[in-house]
Amino acid sequence: MIEEIQAKVLLSHVKQPDTWFGLKYNMNLYRGCQHQCIYCDSRSECYRIENFDTEVLVKANAIELLEKELASKRVKGTIGTGSMNDPYMPLEEEVNLTGRALKVIARFGFPVHIMTKSDLVLRDLDTLCEINTRFAAVSFTVTTADDELAKKLEPGASLVSDRFRAMKTLSDHGIQTGVTMMPILPFIEDDEENIRQIVEKAHAHGPAYIIPWFGMSLRDRQRAYYYDKLDKLFPGLRQKYERMFGNQYHCAVPNADRLSRMFNELCDRYGIATRMKRYEPETGIQMRLF
């Protein structure tokens, strides 16, 4: 079900410093996500998104709010989107909320970081190039190099191969792009071959960075949903998780150290950074010097 709602505010402040993406503000244009990744943390009770799997709420007044809020911001900090829902879920093709929001951001001259699992981001290539005169970065989340496995784990998202192709186009246009390789699911995606293939496929598509996390998070109703999916997709695996992780929230893959070493060696070999270059605002001193 898709429903329109009126939001009270759009931009939230991100706790500083944000060492991953350098965000100052975060923006959610939707509530709920059509990509339906089986491991999605947004199902957790703390976020209070009821009906995450059956309903998407569209913030119908988002553009109006964004204009008003950006007009009153003195600091041109990076605006992030894509952590609680995918800004390019299939619905976006018709609603164009992200596309319109980016145009507003371009007009106000703010930097942006987008996280997505969709090649629909290419629709907004021109706007992203305009934003990139200050700063634009796009991270594609990739947890497996295998399209068939991804269809099971992330059933509503673009094929991984399409995400990589979109990455190449953005990179060819000078936009900083890379991979958020997270989560890596224990006993499903934590084999050396998967990590090697992600790095090698990424390497062929111009990434500046790959940010890894060798594990996943599990809690309350999100864990229950994930375990239910494991029972259907990978019979017997739930019991292995229960034995290994109990009620743990952070669940590292058992071979995290070995995978991490291999990953770092590969990234060194291909000249891929393991952190994103973040937007640095011009300081008063720099402004005076130049």
- Which residues ranging from 18 to 57 are in contact with ligand SF4 (CB under 6 A)? 33, 35-37, 40, 42
To ligand SF4, the closest distance from the beta carbon of 107 in angstroms equals 27
CB 70 within 8 A of CB 110: yes
Spatial distance between the Cα atoms of 280 and 214, rounded to a whole number of angstroms: 28
**Residue number, 13 or 47, with CB nearest to ligand SF4:** 47
CB 117 within 8 A of CB 87: no
To ligand SF4, the closest distance from the beta carbon of 74 in angstroms equals 30
**Residue number, 86 or 189, with CB nearest to ligand SF4:** 86
**Residue number, 117 or 223, with CB nearest to ligand SF4:** 117
Q: Does residue 86 interact with ligand SF4 by CB under 6 A?
A: yes
To ligand SF4, the closest distance from the beta carbon of 142 in angstroms equals 12
To ligand SF4, the closest distance from the beta carbon of 287 in angstroms equals 38
To ligand SF4, the closest distance from the beta carbon of 82 in angstroms equals 7
Q: Residue 21 CB: number of other CB atoms within 10 A?
A: 22
**Residue number, 88 or 279, with CB nearest to ligand SF4:** 88
Site string for ligand SF4, 89-128 (x = CB under 6 A): ----------------------------x-----------
To ligand SF4, the closest distance from the beta carbon of 111 in angstroms equals 22
Site string for ligand SF4, 229-268 (x = CB under 6 A): ----------------------------------------
Q: Does residue 219 interact with ligand SF4 by CB under 6 A?
A: no
Q: Which residues bind ligand SF4 (CB under 6 A)?
A: 33, 35-37, 40, 42, 85-86, 117, 154, 157
